[in-house]
Structure 1
C-alpha cells in the first residue's frame, strides 16, 4: 500500500510539472506575439480601463479624434460648447493647483516608430491654426476657438503643439466662466507634462481659480506647490521663476486677507515687506498690512506703518484711506490731538492732490471727518469736534451735505453754551430750506424740521433766562453765593 501511494504521488508531481510547462509556453508565446506586433508597427489593443468615478466634466473625458478620421467625434464636439456666459479674455497665466488633479483626458498611446520628424510645412500649418485659435479667444470668440484647439489635440499632432493647444483650451473654458472644466484641463496638463517649464505658472493660475471658486484651502495648496515646482525645474530662466515664486507668496497673503484671516495676512505681508525684490508692489503690500493690523486691533503697529506709508508713498491712490486708518488708530489709542491733526490735514488737502480721483478723496474726507468728529462729540471733547465740523462744512456747498453738518455744528455750540451761535447756525438751515424744492428726501426734510425745533427751543430758553434775571434782585443777580455770604465793607 505504501508503494502504491508513493507511485501515485510521483505521478501527480510529473503531471503538475507538465501543466506548468504548457502554461509558461503559452504565456511566452503571447508575449512574443505582442512584442513582434510592436516591432512590426501594429499597435496592440489597449486594455480596458479600470472602473472608477466619472470625470468631473464628462465632455473632457475624450478629446481626440478617432484614427483615420478628420471630423471630431461627439465627445469632441461636446468639449467645444459654451456652457456659461463669456467673460473677458484671460491675461497671462497665474499659478495654483490642487494636490488631487482632476480626471485626465484620454491620450491614446502612440507607437514609438511613428514619432518621426514632422513635416516643416505641416508644422507651420498647425502653428498657424494655433495662432488663429488664440486670436479668436482673445477677441472673445470662444465658440469658434474651441473646435480649432480640439483638432490640435489629435494624437498625430506634435507634442509641442498639443501642449500649447491644451493650455489655450483651458483658457477658453476660463473665459466662458466654466471654472471646473478649466481646472480639469490644467490638471491634465500638469499630470501629462510635469517637467514642462510652464507648470509653475499653470499651478498659479489654478490657485487663482480655486480662490475665485471660494475654495481657499485648495488655493493655498496650489500657491505653495508653485514654489515647490519652481525649485524642482532646472532651467536658465531664474528671474522668471523668481517672479513666479514672489507672486505665489503675494497670493498666499492675499488669500488670507480676502478670507478675513487678518492676523495671518498681517504675518505674510510683513514677510513680503522684508524682501528687497524690485518686482514687489510695496505700496499695495504695506496698505494691506495696515488694514490687517487695524482689523485685529493692533493699532500701535498700524499707526507706525501708516506714518511710514504716508511718507514713502505720497502719491499713492490709497493715501486718503491710510490717513483715515491712521486717524482711527490714533483715536483708539487715546491720542486725540494727533488724530485731530490727521483729520484736519486730510480735509484741507490741496485740490491738486485729489484732482485725479475726486470721488475717492471726497468719500474718505467725509467719512474720516464724520467718524472722528462724532466720536469726539460723544466723548465730550466739543472743541475738537467743532473744529472738524467747521472744516467739513467747507467741503461741499450743496444742501444735502450742508444741512446735516450745520445741524451738528449748532448742537455743538449748544454744548459749548453758545446759544446765540447755535441759533444763527439753525437759522442758516432754515434760510436755505427753499433750495430743497418739492423733491426733498425725507432725511433732509427731517433735518430742517429738527433745526426749526432747536431754534425755537434756543430762543425760548434765552427768553426764559432773561425773564428770570429780571425777577432776581440786582445785587444777588450779580453776586455768587460765596460773595453774598461775605460781610459788607464799611
Structure 2
C-alpha cells in the first residue's frame, strides 16, 4: 500500500470545498452566548446518491450516433417526387387536370414542410391536415402528411401528440419498411414522457419487427438490436429494477461495440452493483474500469465512488489511498480535461478532510481545509471552509486564529446583498455565536488571572474585519 502521508501532500495542494455546516442559532445579547449545537465537520453531499445518474443515451458513444440518426430521420427524410394519380382532385380546386393534381398536393406538403422548419407549428399542422383529409386513400400522401405532423409535434416539444401520431401511423401501415425504426422512435418518446413500462413493451416490439424482417435485412438492424437491448436495460434501471437491469447489461454483446459504448455499459453495471449492495463486485468493476478506460470522462466519478464505497465498508486507509489516487490522476490531466475532474477532486477532498477531522487529527484537517479555501475565490465556496478552519483552530486551542476566521466570515457577509447574506444566514449566525463565545472566554480568563494574582498580558478583543487566510 502506498504511503498515505506522501499521497496526502498532493491533497494539500489540491483541496476541495467543504460542505455546508449545520444550522446554528442566533447569538443572544447576554454576556454569555446562548448554547448552540456544535457545528458538524461532516460533509453531507449526497448521502443516498454518491454519483450523478448514469449518462443518458443521447450523451455518449456511437449508441448516441445511431439514436440521434433515428430520432432525426423524420426531419431529414424527403418525400418522393414520383407522380401519383389521385382518384379525386383536391377539394375546392378548379381548372386542374389529372396530370397536374399530384404536383398540387406535393406543393402543399412542401409548404407544410417549410412552415415546420421555420417553427410555424400551427400553419404546418393546418396544411398537413388539409392534405391528409384530401388524400383519398393515397398511401404516399397519407404517409407524408402523418410523418410531417409527427415531425412538427416533435420539433415543437409536444411528445404526447407525437406519440399519438406515430401510433396511428404504425396501426395504419403495419408492413411499413421503416417499422423497426419508427417503433424505436416511439419507445424513446414513451421513455421521454416517463412511461417506462410502455417503452419496454415497445422495445420488445422492435426486436420482434427485426426478426420478422428475416435474414435479408438482419445485418442492417444488428446495431439497432443492440441499441434496443441497451435501452431496455436503461429503462429497467430508471424503474429501479437494478437486478433486471444488470442482467440485461450483462447480456449485451459488446464485442462489436464501440469502446465508448462499452464504457457506458460498464458504468451502468457498476452503479447497479453498488445499489444492489454487491460491494466486492463493484470494487472489482471499478478497478477494471480504471485499467481498461484510463481516458474515459466517467473515470473520476467511478474513482470517487470507489473511495466512498471503501469508507462505507470501514476500510478508511484504502479509501484514502483511492481518493489520493484520484487527486494525483487529476493532476496529470491536460487543461482541456481538468474541468471534468474538478467536481470529483472537490468531493474527494471533502471525504479526506472530514475523515481527518473526525479521526481527531485536527492539524492535518486544518491543512486540508486551508487547501480547500485557496481553490476558488467565490465566497460561497470559501466561507463554509473558513468556518471549518475556525473549528480546527479551536480544537488546537489557537483561539485568536479561530476568532480571525469567524471575523472574516462576519465581515464578508456584511458586504453581500440581502439575498446573498440570507443564503448564508445559518453560517453567519454560527460565526457570530462562536466569535462572541471566544471573546467571553478571553475576558473570563483575564479576570480569573487578575483575581488569583497571575500576571498576564491581556490581548485586545479582535474587531471583526477582513483577515486574509
Query: Match for residue 419 of structure 1?
Result: 397
Does structure 1 residue 197 correspond to structure 2 residue 174? no
| Match among 135, 140, 145 for residue 165 of structure 1 | 145
- Structure 1 residues 120-179: Cα deviation after superposition (integer angstroms, max 9, x where no partner): 876566555444433432332222222332344344464234323322222333444554
Structure 2 CA distance for aligned equivalents of residues 429 and 453 of structure 1: 10
Aligned to 1:141: 120
Alpha-carbon contact 1:299-1:332 (below 8 Å) kept: no
User: Structure 1 237/141 Cα, relative in aligned 2: closer, same or farther at 3 Å?
Assistant: farther
**Which aligned pairs between 1:223-372 and structure 2 lie closer than 5 A?**
223-234=203-214, 236-272=216-252, 274-278=254-258, 281-347=261-327, 349-350=330-331, 353=334, 355=336, 358=339, 361-372=341-352
Change (3 A) 1:347 1:355: same
Name the count of aligned residue pairs: 357
Contact 1:426–1:454 (Cα < 8 Å) also in 2 = no
Q: Which has the higher contact order (CA 8 A, sep 6+)?
A: 2
Change in 2 beyond 3 A, CA 1:206/1:432 = closer
TM-score norm. by structure 1 comes to 0.60
State the alpha-carbon separation in 1 of the partners of residues 449 and 278 from structure 2: 53
Give the superposition deviation at 1:451.
4.8
- When normalised by structure 2's length, the TM-score is 0.62
Pair 447,287 (structure 1): closer, same or farther in 2 beyond 3 Å: farther
5+ residue gaps, structure 2: 1-66, 73-85, 89-97, 455-469
CA distance in 2, matches of 1:388, 1:448: 20
Answer yes or no: is the 8 Å Cα contact 1:94–1:203 preserved in 2. Answer: no
* Cα distance in 1 between the residues matched to 2:141 and 2:260: 34
Q: Return the alpha-carbon distance in structure 2 between the equivalents of residues 305 and 464 of structure 1.
A: 63
For the structure 1 residues 340 and 386, does the alpha-carbon distance in structure 2 shift closer, same or farther, using more than 3 Å as the test? farther
Q: 1:423 to 1:315 in 2, by over 3 A?
A: farther
- Native 8 Å contact 1:423 1:459 kept in 2: no
Task: Give, in whole Å, the separation in 2 of the partners of 1:274 and 1:189.
Answer: 33
Superposed, 1:68-83 pairs within 5 Å as none
In 1, Cα distance between equivalents of 2:341 and 2:403:
28
Mapped partners of 2:159, 2:102: distance in 1: 31
User: RMSD of aligned C-alpha atoms?
Assistant: 4.2
Find the residue that maps to 2:210 and give its secondary structure: helix
Residues 465 and 375 of structure 1, relative CA distance in 2, 3 Å threshold: farther
Displacement of 1:206: 1.7
Considering only CA atoms, is the larger Rg found in Structure 1 or Structure 2? 1
Change in CA separation of 1:114 and 1:396 when aligned onto 2, cut-off 3 Å: closer
- 2:220, 2:449 → 1: CA distance? 82
**Secondary structure class of the residue paired with 1:276:** coil
For residues 187 and 419 of structure 1, do their structure 2 counterparts lie closer, same or farther at Cα, with a shift above 3 Å needed?
same
Question: Structure 1's 466 and 256: CA in aligned 2 closer, same or farther, altered over 3 A?
Answer: farther
Residues 322-471 of structure 1: pairs in structure 2 closer than 5 A: 322-347=302-327, 349-350=330-331, 353=334, 355=336, 358=339, 361-375=341-355, 377-378=357-358, 385=365, 388-412=368-392, 418-420=396-398, 423-430=400-407, 433-439=410-416, 440=421, 441-453=424-436, 455-456=438-439
SS at match of 1:419: coil
Contact 2:187–2:203, Cα closer than 8 Å, also in 1: yes
